[in-house]
Structure 1
């Protein structure tokens, strides 16, 4: 009889332990916040700053809204001084592979140069071009092409 009662208590204790929520807050030098996003992480950059800027057709010139996003990225990088980033330039599907690789490189360098001009050390930023090889939006429409003409900042 005692074994049955002991088994029942063990089962209740096990269910109680499994049903409690873990504490996702930290104090002091914590690694997570109540939202579960680690400060200084890629997720933090995306959620709180924005990780990409967009370009017009056949250009690597930054537009005012892109500069606003890059201003926020520069401030974020100043706050997290040990974080290094990679800026990837991308293109839509039109044009040759060689042309799009060169255009993607110009876009990545344009965004990186802006961050450097805002005080981010150049050694913390690398660039790469994917040309048209990594579309973020599928399709052959102006809307999809506009989404694919970008530079994406990623935490390294």
Structure 2
């Protein structure tokens, strides 16, 4: 990521096509345009996109209620993985949520998504539960690990 200008901004309707394209390349389920429009329009939701000067590299979506946030999804474009963008997207999201007064952050991750689990644990998330057969990948049921983080970092 050296010498790359990165931007972390609230997504607009103009970003939805790019977000859906990122999902198609690397997420188990592709949500439709209306799902993302609702996130943009709902004051209790966040939809942020991480871009370099050339193109979008990832996004994060979540719902916020008082001091809690559920991260619905955090996806990095398949061509941009293993380059540090996931760490940047997560740290930017945590800073945003702290500025919003959010202290409890929750997310679910497939138990076989070791890279994501390592990223979350490295950033202070703790596993609090397992949801059996939560995800379906190619007709195979996968458990989800439920993680929580208390966001008190400066």
Please report the TM-score for the alignment, with normalisation by the length of structure 1.
0.34
Greater length-normalized contact order (CA 8 Å, ≥ 6 residues apart): 1
TM-score normalized with structure 2 length: 0.34
More strand per residue: 2
| Greater C-alpha radius of gyration | 1
Q: As a proportion of its length, which structure holds more helix?
A: 1
